[in-house]
Structure 1
Amino acid sequence: MIGRLNHIAIAVPDLAAAVETYRDQLGARIGPAQALPEHGVTVVFIDTGNTKVELLEPLGAASPIAAFLEKNPAGGMHHLCFEVPDIAAAMARLQAGGARVLGDGRPRIGAHGNPVIFLHPKDFTGTLIELEQVPA
């Protein structure tokens, strides 16, 4: 069902500092910052050639990333995002198997302009999973 790994997301307390570290220390190609108010984050994508790394900073105190950073003040790996060809079919299959979709259970538009859902980490060995529908 899952396709390629689209990105690995890392929550950071200071996006500018994280961008500087990845750019200056690792020579990363950094994309532009995107504020995503509907998700409560500001993101930057790093292209690694075979996938991306997403740096996430909270956008306001109500951000789910703010809660993550309260427990992990230095930041850390937040989620893995896998591509799927049909998010509705993926959701139906997962829910039939007992997996829980977070939020209201409906896909939302993600940073790449595609529908996304998040799956409960307790259903996936402690890892938050994002699924992103990508065009065929």
Structure 2
Amino acid sequence: MLGRLNHVAIAVPDLAVAIANYRDNLGASVSAPQKEPEHGVTVAFVELANTKIEFLEPLGDESPIAAFMERNPQGGIHHICYEVDDIFAARDHLKAQGARVLGSGEPKIGAHGKPVLFLHPKDFLGTLVELEQA
């Protein structure tokens, strides 16, 4: 079911500082910030040869990562994202196995313009998992 690792997401308190850190200190190519109001975050992607790093900055007080940032004010790894060939088949299989899909259970369009779902961290070794349609 799992395809390649799409990205590792790092929640950050200041997106501009995170971008400058990776660009200036590590020589990384980083995308321009992109607001994702439906997900309550602003994102930027570090492009690597084999995957991406996604920086997440809360977009407003109601951001779903606000509680994470309260617990981790300097930021930290928030989730990992795997690609799947068929997000609906993956969702149905996981639910049948007892995994909890967060939200309504229906995919939303993510920052890459593809359907995504999130899986409860308590079902995956304490890690929030995002699935993205390949």
State the TM-score, normalized to the length of structure 2.
0.99
- RMSD, aligned α-carbons: 0.5
Write the letter of the residue equivalent to 1:77.
I
Instruction: Note the alpha carbon deviations across 1:38-57, whole angstroms, 9 max, x for none.
Output: 00000000001100000000
In 1, Cα distance between the equivalents of 2:42 and 2:66?
Answer: 12
> Unpaired runs of 5+ in structure 1?
none
Count of aligned pairs between the two proteins: 134
Please report how far the alpha carbon of residue 65 of structure 1 lies from its aligned counterpart in structure 2 after TM superposition.
1.4
Corresponding residue for 1:8?
A: 8
In 1, Cα distance between the equivalents of 2:30 and 2:47?
Answer: 7
Q: Say if 2:111 is the partner of 1:133.
A: no
Please report how far the alpha carbon of residue 32 of structure 1 lies from its aligned counterpart in structure 2 after TM superposition.
1.3
Instruction: Note the alpha carbon deviations across 1:38-85, whole angstroms, 9 max, x for none.
Output: 000000000011000000000000001111100000100000000001
In 2, Cα distance between the equivalents of 1:89 and 1:65?
Answer: 27
Tell me the percent identity. 67
Corresponding residue for 2:24?
A: 24
Q: Say if 2:121 is the partner of 1:121.
A: yes
Structure 1 ranges of 4+ moved more than 6 A = none
Write the letter of the residue equivalent to 1:104.
S
Write the letter of the residue equivalent to 2:90.
A
> Unpaired runs of 5+ in structure 2?
none
Helix, strand or coil at the partner of 1:17: helix
Corresponding residue for 2:66?
A: 66
In 2, Cα distance between the equivalents of 1:86 and 1:50?
Answer: 21
Helix, strand or coil at the partner of 2:10: strand
